[in-house]
A and B are shown apart, each in its own frame.
Chain A
Amino acid sequence: MMTEPRQQAGPLVLVVDDEPQIRRFLKAGFEMQGFRIAEAETAKQALELAVMRRPDLVMLDLGLPDADGASVLEALRGWFQGAVIVLSVRSSEEEKVALLEKGADDYVVKPFGMAELLARARVVLRRVAQPGAAEPVLRVGRLTVDLARRLVGLDGVPIVLSPKQFALLRVLGAHHGKVLTHRQLMKELWPQDPDEDVQYLRILMKKLRDKIEPDPARPAYLVTELAIGYRLRTQEQLDAVGYAPAMR
């Protein structure tokens, strides 16, 4: 654990929130883990700082005094290559879906703990560090996925997947740890017909879980984000939730 702030070395996080107390604990939490911090209270400041400082990650609160989060995200996504995590409130699933599809990398729901946020931040920063290139071999719990060689194994025992099932796993693996909305997945899997019934996706997911989840009734790796989409958990995310050791 890092206790000494490393002022220059770590990734730069731009915290955009109009609440000083929220910014204060985010600053402390990130700095203790070796991140550097820039703070903005308004959408205007946020965009200025994003241009000037080029942060690796933007933590974007949706309730800014001068603009809504969606417009800030749109303004950023025109040119900004870094990651964006949205700080959202409960009961706004449509808003979350819209923001994810506009290019947000992930969201956390207030109130949240620092451990959860850091886990999300590391996942999205990894994506920014190696754009386009996913890890060649993914490991979560007992599951291994070799994307290049199209090999999937549970405890080293090979599993045979249909092409469509592997395609779903590959898309989620390419964005390992990140939630993908139903629509984003439909676009990848049925590019010629992305408006097709989302039930196809649900049935496909059910079959994939049956093959790779140790307990398909209680999926540990392929998790559902209700009313939003699916996520392939990273080891760090898996450790953060309380599953029986058998799955880790």
Chain B
Amino acid sequence: MAGEQKHLLRLALGTGDAGYAGTLVLILCATALAGLIVWFAPLESVSAIYMLPVLVAAIRYGTGPAIAAALLGAVMTSLFYPPLFSVLVFRPAQLIDLVTSLVVALTLGWLAGHLRTEMVKVREEERRTRQLYRLSSEIAGAVDVAAIYDIVAAHMADLFGREVALFVAADGRSWRTIRAPAAGAPVEALGRAVESFSTRTGDAGGPEVEVLALGSQAHWLLCNLSGPDRPKAVLAVSLGGADVGAADAVVAQARSILAEGEKSLERLGLTRALEERQLRQRSDALRDILIEAVSHELRTPVASILGSASVLLTAEPVASEPRLHDLSAAIGSEAARLDRRIQNLLDVTRIRAGALQPRFDELDLADIVNAALDSVAERLGGRKVVLALGRDLPFVRVDPVLVEQALVNILENAAKFAPDAAPIAISARLRDGKLAVEVRDEGPGLDRHEAERIFERFHRGERHADIAGGSGLGLTIAKTFVEANGGSIEPLSEGPGTGTTMRIWLPLAPERRLEEGDDD
């Protein structure tokens, strides 16, 4: 890379000695050409031939060699004025030749120089773009922020040809070294300096880049890599001995690279995206582990208890002794209750983790209501359920499993609070382009304050503390499940002592015309 830079520098400034040597060769060639032509066909003036070296030198080597070519050309032209091959005779035409050549040399030299500068700029731009492209594609392959900084550091080290160290402080934790400086470097002093530098750059208008002197022989260039969405990070480039002149050039270079790097990083939005992805992956993994562990570790023993109790119920000695039979039945139903509580906690975990993904289907609400009634049949005991679903209701578009669970929770809640003899009524009708499902109980009802709070997590009615049981999660889950289906739920009660109606609004399936079969 250093070689390439030298080459570009030479292009920009014009030339070295090689340019003047080349010019001399060009003049000699032109002279030979002129001599040859004059030999065969006498010319009035050969000055036009000497324009060629000026032209070529201006374009190839720059203004200096072009002027040299003009001067040499003017001298050489005099060879070809009569008397031939004598330089000692001066004629006015020669002066004109000289002035013309000089004007051409200066104009072309300036033009060519300008072109070269443009070309150098374009090449430099291209090189930088290539580097940034390489940098960004390397960054895109990185799996975390630390890897990104490592790539940036490697890039800097490569660019400067110097030793580089990198310090990062993420999430308010203390500074740590991602890439340590070489052995023998004053790590502690450097670390302290990095910390104070970072604090100062945090202020508005603070320095982005700073040269730090640690003793007379160790200079470090500190570059701030922090950004609004990224952890604090500082890159330290070793500048070696006290060579302040060289340091200025490096500081300027570092500034421009940081500016470009910052632009490209922000444009790509990589750092934020990467962090979010990482966070999401971590929380997804944690959630899956938790759900898996809870499902298996808690529910398997419950399944064994429930199953074993159900076997005891069928055994002759237990079946024939009512007290033992009741105990076995209680073990079973309590295990089932425990399992439902665990299920509720899992559901809440899924909701909180944003892992609730409804699987929509279009079906008859009656199917969902009946499945819910089958699920709670045992828990409702002999309680009467009055169904008034209305014939020929349109289909709903919901996740049937989630809506069933919501209904189960609402029915359980109704059964818990309503007097044993009181029936629970389920009705459904079409209203305002939606299906309104109502579950009505004749329980203690709700006052206005309660109506607002019943869906809060772990809320349990204070007036009914005597009615034991429940985690306070059932209605929260019901509400979330219904809302996940694009529905809503509202508690209706005319006040304490008047019973409660839970009204669930569910979206209808889009109307479709299905051709009739052979059915009547």
Contacts and interface: CB of A to CB of B under 8 A. Distances in A.
Contacts of B361: 227
Nearest to B308: A25
B336 A115 contact: no
Interface string B377-396: 11000100001010000010
Interface string B352-364: 0000000101111
Contacts of B371: 224-226
B367 A114 contact: no
Given A202-B363, A218-B373, A224-B370, A1 B314 contact: yes
B518 A162 contact: yes
B518 A22 contact: no
B520 A111 contact: no
Interface string B310-342: 110111100100000000000010011001000
Interface residues of B, number: 51
A145 B401 CA distance: 31
Contacts of B395: 199, 202
A199 B401 contact: no
B476 to A, nearest CB: 18
A89 B382 CA distance: 28
Interface stretch (A5-13, A26-34, A42-50): A26-34
B301 A21 contact: yes
Interface residues of A, number: 47
B518 A164 contact: yes
Contact of A241 (B296, B307, B316, B374): B374
Given A90-B343, A111-B306, A226 B366 contact: no
A203 B514 contact: yes
A45 B454 CA distance: 51
Q: Which of B300, B307, B336, B366 has the most CB of A within 10 A?
A: B307
B92 interface: no
A165 interface: yes
B311 A28 contact: yes
A214 interface: no
B401 A91 contact: yes
A3 interface: yes
Contacts of B301: 21
A155 to B, nearest CB: 22
Contact of A218 (B362, B387, B518): B387
A162 B367 contact: no
B498 to A, nearest CB: 27
Nearest to A242: B377
A19 interface: yes
B51 interface: no
A217 B370 CA distance: 8
A64 to B, nearest CB: 12
Interface in B15-61: none
A24 B361 CA distance: 39
A112 interface: yes
Contacts of A206: 364
Of A24, A111, A114, which is in contact with the most chain B CB atoms at under 10 Å from its CB?
A: A111
Interface in A100-152: 110-115
B292 to A, nearest CB: 10
Contacts of A164: 517-519
Nearest to A207: B519
A42 to B, nearest CB: 16
Interface in B191-229: none
A116 B132 CA distance: 67
Nearest to B316: A3
A148 B378 CA distance: 37
13 contacts: A33-B314, A90-B343, A112-B307, A114-B314, A197-B512, A199-B395, A199-B514, A200-B517, A219-B370, A224-B367, A224-B371, A241-B377, A242-B378
Interface of A: 1, 3, 19, 21-22, 24-26, 28-29, 32-33, 63, 89-91, 93-94, 110-115, 162-165, 197, 199-200, 202-204, 206-207, 215, 217-219, 223-227, 241-242
